[in-house]
Structure 1
């Protein structure tokens, strides 16, 4: 699950890109990808129009069926990997996890951009804000291009991580028998 603030820009963009990459890697039938936000301010709203246009311009589905929702402690129990877009989102998710009864078995929470091989390396206890995915909300279409580039740059790393967690070899490719 990808997580941003309102679940109308960054996290649905990452959800759509990851779903596309996982499908191309032959893992689409084994991995469920969704998204949510730490806030309920956009609850029920579709993907931002600028995000849809940017995704479509790059050949991705537009996410027309998406409806924003707020992350819950149940989501942390139901998902194996939760990918916040910013350090602030990660802190909120960790607090939510700490408050969850029986926190054993909760999702791994890891900043999305930590999977980007060209992103800054942040040591434990270091400034996680260096790995924030840019928030395009207050800008124009160019901000969505930047966000998509950051999302795409980390996507293959996420796919490799998921593949490893599933116990699959990195060289495994999709075949007609996989579908």
Structure 2
């Protein structure tokens, strides 16, 4: 859902950026967007891409300027991948390349994740997870979409800021 929403807002803002989504596990590999997410996105007026789930890999670390983790568990999994692979992905850069998605949410910081063990400059110690609607109802998918949309203005500004550097 976040890929679809971000891509649409980037397009409307005239920002030329590539957006891709992937998971930390391979269990959904090849599956399309969940039908409930499709229904939610279509209902909100978004155009659905032809998307198939896939797992993050070292190539993603090499080729992307910014990786957004939806949950702290995802953040840790990407950190582990970085630490296992020989890549040019540096976790302690001045401009972080790995961040929590809700770091851009005006309602996303409140200490829900306390003391997250991370040595990176973008340690998500007080950033909330994006709610995972997978085991919920259609309303949960709509709540997740609202959370994603709330993050977009600040995320878009960050992407534009990075483009000018």
The answer as to whether partners of 1:17 and 1:60 remain within 8 angstroms in 2 is yes
C-alpha distance in 2 between matches for 1:156 and 1:131: 17
C-alpha distance in 2 between matches for 1:130 and 1:49: 28
Q: Secondary structure at the match of 2:67?
A: strand
Greater mean deviation of Cα atoms: 54-63 or 118-127 = 118-127
C-alpha distance in 2 between matches for 1:124 and 1:162: 27
**1:115-164 Cα distance to aligned partner (Å, 9 max, x none):** 11222255994574751001101011001001001110111111100000
Q: Give 5+ residue unaligned stretches, structure 2.
A: 117-123
1:15 paired with 2:3, answer yes
The answer as to whether partners of 1:77 and 1:105 remain within 8 angstroms in 2 is no
The answer as to whether partners of 2:114 and 2:126 remain within 8 angstroms in 1 is no
1:61 paired with 2:50, answer no
The answer as to whether partners of 2:82 and 2:89 remain within 8 angstroms in 1 is no
The answer as to whether partners of 1:87 and 1:129 remain within 8 angstroms in 2 is no
C-alpha distance in 2 between matches for 1:25 and 1:161: 13
Relative CO higher for 1 or 2, CA cutoff 8 Å, sep ≥ 6?
A: 1
Q: Deviation above 2 Å: which 4+ runs of structure 1?
A: 102-107, 121-130
- 1:75 is aligned to 60
